[in-house]
Structure 1
Amino acid sequence: MKILVVGATGTLGRQIVRHALDEGYEVRCLVRSAQRAAFLREWSVELVRGNLCRPETLPAALDGVDAVIDAATARPTDRVEQVDWHGKVNLIQATHAAGIKRFIFFSILNAEKYPHVPLMQVKQCTEAFLAESGLDYTVFKPCGFLQGLIGQYAIPILEKQPIWVMGQAAPIAYMNTQDIARFAIKALTLPETVNRAFPLAGTRAWGAYEIIRLCERLTGQDAKISRISLGLLRGVRRLASFFQWGWNLADRLAFVEVVAGSQALDAPMDDVYATFGIDKQEITTLEEYLQEYFNRIMKKLKELNYDRDKAKKKKVPF
């Protein structure tokens, strides 16, 4: 089977590509930048230049493909509506026109509960558009990625920088993108996943302060915490929305309000595990992920200090 992965240079997309290759699939990737996709070429992946917002570039990428996995999302410099709505509509229509039936899409858990948040609204609208497209679709609804915790918590603690905590900091059931990729690739061979949506939640939901305490324990360092009130966040969003240059910022701040609230982003997973034949014990926990990361970083830091000490000893005094 030949699959087209869209968003392959992203945090999730690259894991989908890697897992698909490991499972023996032939993989093609739609990419905007050949430079950003250089590592994919090293993996012997076929690359096709294209852009979701330019529908004329899509037929070449879809030619000869059996299934499409869409893991793309707007970059910080993009308007959410451009990529996550118009771009996705272009891709779905082009997939249907190419005669390809299988389509896998990544939404966000509880998108239907936040119609006032642009990203959540377009995800929900895309789910509805996909359901009426005639394609054999599967929708996955992750809560959040473990990989995102590195920049948010791990690096600030190691660099003794403040960790910004917003509002009440809703507990979130983060999942490793490698595990998410397993679900996506397995869906290609499971008829019972066709025309269905599945939540993807980690082994438990974690609040911001729980993660901070875990990082402190694993590193032996105290965290510096800076708090931002939800009211201030909403005020900045409203101000930004008055100016065209601030629309993109306002859209993203609206999403931040979701994770800064009190409602947990979590979902029961027993039926999902049963459907996909995946054992919960095989899913990476947040503790395991951060422990492995900090062990690797601490080992590297010790090696760097050792190298510096050796270099100092070799210096000849004058």
Structure 2
Amino acid sequence: MTILIVGATGTLGRQVARRAIDEGYKVRCLVRSTKKAAFLKEWGAELVGGDLCYPETLPRALEGVTAVIDAATSRPTDSLSIKQVDWDGKVSLIQAAKAAGVERFIFFSILESEKYPEVPLMEIKRCTELFLVESGLKYTILRLAGFMQGLIGQYGIPILENQPVWVTGESSPVAYMDTLDIAKFAIRALSLPETEKQTFPVVGTRAWSAEEIISVCERLSGKEARVTRMPINLLRTVRHFLRFFQWGWNVADRLAFTEVLASGKPLNASMEQVYQVFGIDAQQTTTLESYLQEYFSRIMKKLKELDYEKKQSKKQKSKKTPFKQSSKVNGQ
């Protein structure tokens, strides 16, 4: 089976590619830059140049492909809008996959997207789900809540560097999941007929609020967080202001997602039946606490090593200084 992975250089996509390669699948990756995707080639993937926003590049990438795993999404640093990538691009990909006779299509969506029609990314995900269902393809939709990997930049690093940790509105508990675990479900779906034309939640072992995550980070790092609360009404005002300018549309659309994270409503779902269908042991799923513990143990060990090296360097300098001074005195 040949799999085309779209978005393979991203946080989730690279784990899906790694898992597929390790399990013996022939992996092809649609990439915009072969240079940035060089690590995928080193892993054993085939790289094909192309872009979701240029539909004419898709047919060549889909030649001989049995399944598509779509892990692509627009990034905050992209100049392209959410609509261009997550709607126009996905519609083109689904249509091209259908024309190419692709047998399976795995799509990553967001949990409870239907409940937030005013949030652009959530509404686009909902519409894409419907478009995929109506396409006639044998799809599997996996609805995610959040990645544990994102917590490092949001909480871990700011706390370690004594920088502000931003919390908006009434913190919504989120069932974050390790992208390595999400990849297991995506690849397993390819070989399970029971997952065809089905939608599943794929979330972590429990939902965590921002305050709970901060508390765990403080305990594991031994540092106190500088929590700064941003009123949700202020963000709404900024968002509405940015909508007046075309250059601000993309930023405004992204700020809208804070409505989800600051609503106070949990982003979580039961996984008991999902584990049974996929034949995956729930006990092997990474917990948020163990994920953060591993991160902080590695980083604290590294910091101790750097501190030790710094002290040793100072000792060596202090030993050399008297000799230099005495040689100068003798020289005079």
Q: Which TM-score bucket, shorter chain as reference?
A: over 0.9
Partner of 2:143: 141
Amino acid at match of 1:304: L
SS at match of 1:149: helix
- The answer for unaligned runs of 5 or more in structure 2 is 325-332
2:196 pairs with 1:194:
yes
Q: C-alpha offsets along residues 51-110 of structure 1, whole Å, 9 cap, x if unaligned?
A: 001011111111111100000000212200000000000100111111112000001000
2:241 to 210, 218, 239: 239
Query: 1:159-208 CA distances to partner (integer Å, 9 max, x unpaired)?
Result: 00010000001000000000000000000000000000000111000000
Contact 2:177 2:204 in 1 (8 A): yes
Q: Which amino acid aligns with 1:267?
A: A
Alignment equivalent of 1:98, drawn from 88, 100, 104:
100
Contact 1:187-1:193 at 8 Å conserved across structures? yes
In the alignment, is the contact (CA less than 8 A) between 2:21 and 2:44 conserved in 1? no
Q: Which residue of 2 aligns with 1:109?
A: 111
Deviation at 1:261, TM superposition (A): 1.0
Aligned-pair distance for 1:44?
Answer: 2.0
Name 1:23's counterpart in structure 2: 23
Looking at structure 1, the residues matched to 6 and 73 of structure 2 have their Cα atoms a distance apart, in angstroms, of 9
Q: Which moved more, 1:298-307 or 1:169-178?
A: 298-307
Q: Decide whether the 8 Å contact of 2:52 with 2:89 is kept in 1.
A: yes
Name the residue aligned to 1:49: 49
Q: Which residue of 1 aligns with 2:271?
A: 269
Task: Give the gaps of 5 or more residues in structure 1.
Answer: none
Q: Secondary structure at the match of 2:257?
A: helix
1:127 aligns with 2:129: yes
Tell me what 1:211 maps to: 213
Provide the residue aligned with 1:251 in structure 2: 253
Q: How many residues align?
A: 318
Give the aligned residue type for 2:2: K
Helix, strand or coil at the partner of 1:58 = helix
Aligned counterparts of 2:283 and 2:44: Cα–Cα separation in 1: 32
Separation of aligned partners in 1, 2:267 and 2:25: 32
Alpha-carbon distance in structure 1 between the residues aligned to 2:21 and 2:103:
21
Cα distance between partner residues in 1 of 2:175 and 2:133: 26
Shift of 1:38: 1.6
Given that residues 202 and 271 in structure 2 are in contact (C-alpha distance below 8 angstroms), is that contact kept between their aligned partners in structure 1? yes
CA deviation after TM superposition for structure 1 residue 235, in Å:
0.7
Decide whether the 8 Å contact of 1:233 with 1:257 is kept in 2. no
Give the AA of the match of 2:55: P
Letter of the 1:133 counterpart: S
| d(CA) in 2 for partners of 1:246, 1:161 | 26
For residue 165 of structure 2, give the secondary structure of its aligned residue in structure 1.
Answer: strand
Question: How far apart are 1:36 and its partner, in Å?
Answer: 1.6
Equivalence for 2:295: 293
Q: Which residue pairs with 2:68 in the alignment? A: 68
- Other-structure match for 1:167: 169
* CA contact 2:141–2:198 (8 Å) conserved in 1: yes
Report the CA distance between 1:242 and its aligned residue. 1.1
Q: Which amino acid aligns with 2:13?
A: G
2:151 alignment partner AA: L
Deviation, structure 1 residue 311: 2.4
Displacement of 1:303: 1.3
Does the 8 Å contact 1:8/1:14 carry over to 2? yes
Residue-by-residue CA offset, 1:223-277 (whole Å, 9 max, x unaligned): 0000001111111111111111110011001112111111110001111011001
Q: Percent identity?
A: 65
Residue 28 of structure 2 aligns with an amino acid whose one-letter code is: R
8 Å contact from structure 2 (residues 8, 72) kept in 1: yes
SS at match of 1:3: strand
User: Residues of 1 paired with 2:255 and 2:100: CA distance?
Assistant: 37
Match of 1:218, SS? helix
SS across alignment from 1:263: coil
What's the offset of the Cα at 1:314?
2.9
- 2-side partners of 1:311 and 1:44: how far apart? 42
Q: Is the 8 A contact 1:96 1:133 kept in 2?
A: yes
